Amino acid sequence: MFKKFVFPPWLKKARDGLEIIILPLGIFQLIPTIFFPNTFDVLILAVFIIIYFAFLKKLF
C-alpha cells in the first residue's frame, strides 16, 4: 500500500516513545483526579485517554 505521508525517523522515534509512556502517565494522572478532581486534571486525563486509544487503533 502506498503511503501518502512519510514521517522522518526522529518523528517515528518520538511517536514510539510517546506510545510507551502514555499509559503510565495516564495512570499517574488518574490517581490525583480520583481524589481531588478539578477541571484541568480531568481535561488532561481525557487527552491522555484519547491519545492512548488513538495508538491502540493505529491512528498515529
How many CA atoms lie less than 13 Å away from 20 in the CB half-sphere?
Answer: 5
* pLDDT block averages, 10 residues each, the chain of length 60: 74 90 94 94 95 88
How many Cα atoms are found within 13 Å in the side-chain-facing hemisphere of 33? 15
* Domain limits, the chain: 14-56
pTM for this predicted structure: 0.79
Q: C-alpha cell of 16?
A: 514510539
The predicted structure's pLDDT at residue 3: 65
- Compute the distance between CA of residue 16 and CA of residue 7 in angstroms, rounded to an integer: 12
